[in-house]
Amino acid sequence: EIFTVLIACSTIDTATPLHIVSDSKYTITAFTQHCSHWEDISWIEVANAHLIRSALYRLRARSTPTTFAWVKGHSGNTGNESANMEAACGALLDDANETLLCINLTFDVQRAKLHSLTQSLSYHSLRNFCGHTIRPTTLTCLSDIQLVIDDRTGLLPTTASIWKGLHPCDHDIEHKPRDFLYKGLHNTLRIRSFWTNIPCYID
């Protein structure tokens, strides 16, 4: 949905008023309510930050008004149903090309405001700065998932799209199943290879 906003802002002439209709309240509120706060915290721990920042830049660069309207999902709206189908396929593809994600420095707010930071946000910022490594067992699980999805759908998802599907913002999966899948990806449950070397339990 956010990528659709980015495409619309990139392809429609900036002198033409733009009216965006979406069934995603997350997308609408991201641009109408939350973006100012997210800029204040330098986008720390904000999901889809790279897409939102790019779309926000193009929205601000427009010389005519841009409006948003919410429409109920799965209500027979032809345009909305088609957009949902495209979004489902697009979620499994690689990130947008670098040209679309480029941001003019004039519109790119840098650094977090001290009064907006919390201890938790500061901690996450430090972790992101230092980086982290992925466990070998996690990489193996991700590879297996990619192969299965590719075999059944013909689409090879990126590891980023797999993690994104387990994000709390995705309300299609309830908390307990999502927690099980997340731990399973990290091979911390008694499943898969855990039983390989235990007699009578391999199957």
Per residue in 68-117, pLDDT (tens digit) is 998 886 666 666 666 666 565 555 555 555 567 777 767 777 778 888 88
Share of the chain above pLDDT 70, in %: 73
Nearest to 27 by CA among 52, 60, 9, 50: 52
Average pLDDT value for residue range 177-188 = 80
Q: Same domain, yes or no, for 149 and 95? A: no
Q: Same domain, yes or no, for 151 and 112? A: no
Q: Same domain, yes or no, for 6 and 61? A: yes
In this prediction, residue 141 has a pLDDT band, given cuts at 50, 70 and 90, of: confident
Name the range with the highest mean pLDDT among 83-87, 118-122, 193-197: 118-122
Q: Same domain, yes or no, for 15 and 91? A: yes
Q: Same domain, yes or no, for 12 and 107? A: yes
> Residue 182: its pLDDT value, please?
80
- 185, part of any domain: yes
Q: What is the CATH number of the domain that holds 39?
A: 3.30.420.10
Per residue in 16-43, pLDDT (tens digit) is 999 988 888 888 999 999 988 988 888 8
Q: Same domain, yes or no, for 95 and 23? A: yes
- 202, part of any domain: no
Report the number of distinct structural domains present in the chain: 2
Task: Supply the range of the domain harboring residue 152.
Answer: 133-191
Q: Same domain, yes or no, for 77 and 176? A: no
Burial state string for 72-101 with b = 16 or more CB within 10 A and e = fewer than 16: eeeeeeeebeebeeeeeebebeeebeeebe
- 198, part of any domain: no
- 127, part of any domain: no
> Residue 18: its pLDDT value, please?
92
Q: Same domain, yes or no, for 83 and 32? A: yes
Q: Same domain, yes or no, for 110 and 143? A: no
Per residue in 44-64, pLDDT (tens digit) is 888 888 888 888 989 988 989
* 133: number of Cβ within 10 Å: 7
Whether 50 contacts 94, CB under 8 Å: no
Q: Same domain, yes or no, for 53 and 14? A: yes
